[in-house]
């Protein structure tokens, strides 16, 4: 979708001549009219004739001009689908509602169009419209006009193809020929909305979804928003790639499933082959449902933000130099004698060395980091450095500022997904201010290994720091602010230590993700003496599935099976579970400072919720194992604690409070 367009035979911008970025579209009573904003932009509302732009196929001057309708804005398409085409229809009623709309606005005959496919373009005349089938009845226009990318495909071939199709073509394959009178404006726009809908919104499986909800709200709006978010570079390129891959996989699996279902419906014998086909069908169905859920997570703007995506970092570590030597890289816009003397005194010659240390000088911090091998050090001298690319740190290096963070500023310029990517085993960054602009992803992502951030300032724009699964992050005496997402995102299976930091003026302070996946443990978190304040939402948010709520309700209400089990065991199982939770809560209580007012209450609340989440996750894991007939002693609950300490943190003036949960 981000490539904007030559999908399914749609004309891309590269095939069009220049045209304005917006055209208006709306409806009033029986007719359609241009939006006032569009008219005022063009200044021709009072003039008779069309208000739509036109374009000519690139390199095909023999073809007539066509209406250019592919650059409609989000709100124009949104309004069209919501108010005039789909309204509150169900998925099974989409074709019916679309046909009713077309009957009102589409000219049934008398207009010409270019039949555009990936192989050829042909000029045709529309003689009738089959609204129910969303097809136009056409004939070849005279004089014949056909251009093909296959030399053997001629006008005679087109005529034979039309005969095979009964001279009926899908509306989305037609591009309406330009007419200055304005008589076919509504027709051109209506065909554009049908074309866009079936190329970017509609899915083959939509009709089989639950038909109770409003189809527009459930599917059309989120997919439409995602399409425009991608076009406007508001979605990470990795996530766009994931979405397209998932969509392709789901379409292929659904095609196989549909073919298999058709073959089973035509076969009545209870054969071994049929039984095998049914098993294969169940596997395909399960696969399709999983793929659909992943697609919905990405299509939903809120869930897309909450869950992010598991970006695979392909950064390769260089390792140690062949000669085993370590290099100190010095970065400065200009090296003056006074600065060099200070560096020699404070950093380069602090202690007598047995061997001489090689020093390399750079004017660009990105070039210095790219030149590093395992064990190198980069010293960045005071200055403001504009960096167009991404810091990809795959080796264990030290990146330190020589001075206060406000004096050593590294600022991102130009668009890009990330600013700093860390995969090294032991990366240390200190005394630097990072400023992020025009970004799609967070300012710092730790994919794996350990990254230590000390005495730094992070001025974010999207998400702040992301700590991926299996990564470790240590942040001390630093300041993070300005994130439109969470200041820090902590993934399951990671380790995060936060000490004496300020996290403020973000959408959420800290987002802790627990996806209830038995392959990942709840993250190990230590929060000591942090000030989390002035965030739009909560100071700390825990993301957890609704199954936690179900577990809590089951614990309160009790089931007949549990009651029977308790009678058989004399209540030992329940007592054991209660003692287990009490033990863990007691351990948690010992790790929290004595109550000292509202600020410390936030520490207790966070700790209690994490302990409960850990307990419930352990219970669910044991339940799954027991269903498979596997029993094991639960010795992991205390050894796999999700925290080291949550002590002395202050929560002030956060919009929704110190702690909250997000259920999915």
> Which positions ≥6 away from 181 have C-beta within 8 Å?
49, 50
**What is the pLDDT averaged over residues 496-513?**
94
State whether 201 and 278 are in the same domain: no
Number of domains in the chain: 2
Supply the pLDDT for residue 660. Answer: 85
**Residue 488 pLDDT > 90, yes or no?**
yes
13 found inside a domain: no
State whether 166 and 101 are in the same domain: yes
**Residue 222 pLDDT > 50, yes or no?**
yes
For 211, the token pair is 């038909």
CA distance 167 to 165: 5
State whether 72 and 175 are in the same domain: yes
From 187, 205, 223, the end of a domain falls on: 205
Range of the domain at 74: 54-205
pTM of the model: 0.64
Instruction: Quickly count: other Cβ atoms within 10 Å of residue 416's Cβ.
Output: 20
262 found inside a domain: yes
- Burial class of residue 390 (count of CB atoms within 10 Å of its CB; 0-12, 13-18, 19+): middle
Mean pLDDT score across all residues of the chain? 79
State whether 281 and 162 are in the same domain: no
Q: What are phi and psi of 98, to 5 degrees?
A: -65, -40
3-class SS at 567?
Answer: helix
Supply the pLDDT for residue 509. Answer: 95
State whether 60 and 199 are in the same domain: yes
Q: Which helix (H) or strand (E) holds 240?
A: helix 237-265
State whether 83 and 128 are in the same domain: yes
9 found inside a domain: no
32 found inside a domain: no
Supply the pLDDT for residue 663. Answer: 73
Q: Which helix (H) or strand (E) holds 411?
A: strand 408-412
State whether 180 and 68 are in the same domain: yes
Whether the CB-CB separation of 566 and 574 falls below 8 Å is answered with: yes
Whether the CB-CB separation of 436 and 422 falls below 8 Å is answered with: no
Which range has highest mean pLDDT (344-353, 439-448, 451-460)? 451-460
572 found inside a domain: no
Q: Considering only CA atoms, which of 463, 462, 502, 512 is closest in space to residue 480?
A: 502
**What is the pLDDT averaged over residues 22-26?**
37
Q: How far apart are the first and last CA of the chain?
A: 27
State whether 197 and 256 are in the same domain: no
Who wins on pLDDT, 564 or 138?
138
From 185, 205, 225, the end of a domain falls on: 205
106 found inside a domain: yes
State whether 245 and 107 are in the same domain: no
For 250, the token pair is 């789901």
CA distance 599 to 597: 6
Could you tell me whether strands 174-176 and 111-116 are parallel, antiparallel, or unpaired per DSSP bridges? antiparallel
Q: What are phi and psi of 37, to 5 degrees?
A: -60, -45
62 found inside a domain: yes
State whether 67 and 181 are in the same domain: yes
- pLDDT confidence of 315, banded at 50, 70, 90? confident
138 found inside a domain: yes
Distances (CA, A) of 636 to 103, 202, 491, 640: 66, 46, 20, 5
CA distance 360 to 376: 11
Report the side by side order of strands in the sheet with 391-393: 391-393, 420-422, 444-446, 465-467, 486-490, 508-513, 538-544, 657-663
3-class SS at 111?
Answer: strand
Supply the pLDDT for residue 276. Answer: 75
State whether 151 and 244 are in the same domain: no
- Burial class of residue 248 (count of CB atoms within 10 Å of its CB; 0-12, 13-18, 19+): exposed
Supply the pLDDT for residue 211. Answer: 65
State whether 90 and 156 are in the same domain: yes
From 189, 205, 221, the end of a domain falls on: 205
**What is the pLDDT averaged over residues 527-533?**
95
């Amino acid at each position: 979708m981000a490539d904007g367009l030559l999908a399914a035979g749609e004309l891309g911008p590269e095939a069009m001549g220049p045209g304005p970025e917006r055209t208006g579209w709306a409806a009033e009573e029986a007719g359609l009219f241009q939006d006032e904003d569009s008219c005022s932009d063009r200044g021709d509302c009072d003039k008779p004739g069309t208000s739509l732009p036109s374009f000519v196929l690139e390199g095909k001057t023999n073809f007539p001009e066509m209406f250019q309708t592919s650059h409609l804005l989000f709100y124009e398409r949104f309004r069209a689908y919501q108010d005039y085409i789909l309204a509150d229809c169900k998925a099974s009623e989409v074709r019916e509602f679309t046909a009713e709309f077309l009957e009102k606005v589409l000219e049934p005959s008398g207009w010409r169009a270019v039949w555009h496919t990936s192989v050829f373009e042909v000029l045709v005349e529309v003689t009738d419209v089959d609204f129910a089938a969303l097809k136009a009845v056409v004939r070849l226009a005279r004089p014949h006009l056909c251009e093909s990318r296959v030399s053997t495909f001629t006008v005679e071939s087109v005529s034979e193809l039309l005969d095979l199709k009964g001279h009926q073509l899908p509306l989305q394959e037609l591009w309406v020929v330009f007419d200055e009178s304005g008589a076919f404006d509504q027709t051109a726009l209506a065909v554009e909305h049908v074309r866009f809908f079936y190329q970017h919104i509609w899915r083959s499986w939509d009709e089989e979804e639950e038909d109770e909800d409003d189809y527009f709200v459930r599917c059309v709006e989120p997919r439409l928003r995602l399409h425009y978010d991608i076009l406007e570079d508001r979605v990470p390129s990795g996530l766009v790639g994931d979405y397209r891959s998932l969509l392709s996989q789901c379409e292929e699996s659904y095609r196989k499933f549909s073919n298999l279902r058709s073959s089973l419906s035509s076969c009545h014998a209870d054969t071994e082959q049929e039984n095998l086909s049914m098993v294969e069908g169940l596997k395909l169905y399960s696969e399709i449902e999983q793929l659909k859920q992943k697609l919905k997570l990405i299509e939903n703007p809120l869930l897309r933000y909450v869950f992010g995506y598991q970006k695979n970092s392909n950064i390769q570590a260089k390792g140690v130099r062949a000669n085993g030597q370590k290099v100190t890289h010095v970065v400065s816009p200009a090296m003056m004698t006074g600065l060099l003397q200070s560096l020699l005194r404070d950093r380069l010659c602090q202690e007598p060395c047995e061997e001489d240390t090689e020093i390399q000088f750079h004017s660009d911090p990105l070039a210095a980091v790219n030149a590093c091998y395992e064990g190198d050090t980069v010293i960045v001298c005071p200055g403001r450095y504009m960096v167009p690319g991404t810091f990809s740190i795959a080796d264990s290096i030290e990146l330190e500022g020589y001075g206060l963070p406000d004096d050593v500023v590294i600022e991102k310029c130009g668009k890009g997904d990330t600013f700093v990517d860390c995969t090294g085993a032991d990366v240390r960054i200190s005394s630097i201010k990072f400023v992020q602009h025009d970004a799609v992803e967070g300012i710092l992502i730790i994919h794996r290994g350990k990254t230590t951030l000390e005495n730094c300032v992070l001025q974010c724009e999207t998400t702040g720091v992301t700590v991926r699964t299996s990564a470790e992050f240590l942040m001390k005496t630093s300041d993070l602010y300005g994130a439109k997402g969470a200041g820090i995102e902590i993934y399951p299976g990671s380790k995060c230590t936060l000490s004496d930091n300020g996290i403020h003026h973000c959408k959420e302070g800290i987002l802790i993700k627990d996806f209830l996946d038995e392959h990942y443990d709840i993250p190990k978190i230590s929060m000591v003496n942090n000030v989390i304040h002035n965030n739009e939402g909560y100071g700390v948010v825990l993301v957890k599935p609704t199954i936690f709520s179900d577990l809590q309700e089951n614990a309160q209400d009790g089931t007949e099976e549990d009651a029977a089990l308790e009678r058989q065991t004399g209540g030992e199982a329940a007592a054991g579970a209660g003692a287990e939770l009490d033990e863990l809560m007691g351990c948690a209580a010992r790790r929290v400072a004595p109550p000292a007012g509202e600020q410390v209450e936030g520490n207790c609340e966070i700790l209690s919720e994490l302990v409960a989440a850990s307990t419930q996750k352990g219970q669910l894991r044991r339940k799954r194992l027991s269903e498979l007939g596997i029993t094991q002693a639960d010795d992991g609950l205390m050894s796999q604690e999700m925290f080291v300490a949550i002590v002395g943190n202050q929560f002030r003036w956060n919009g929704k409070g110190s702690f909250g949960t997000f259920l999915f």
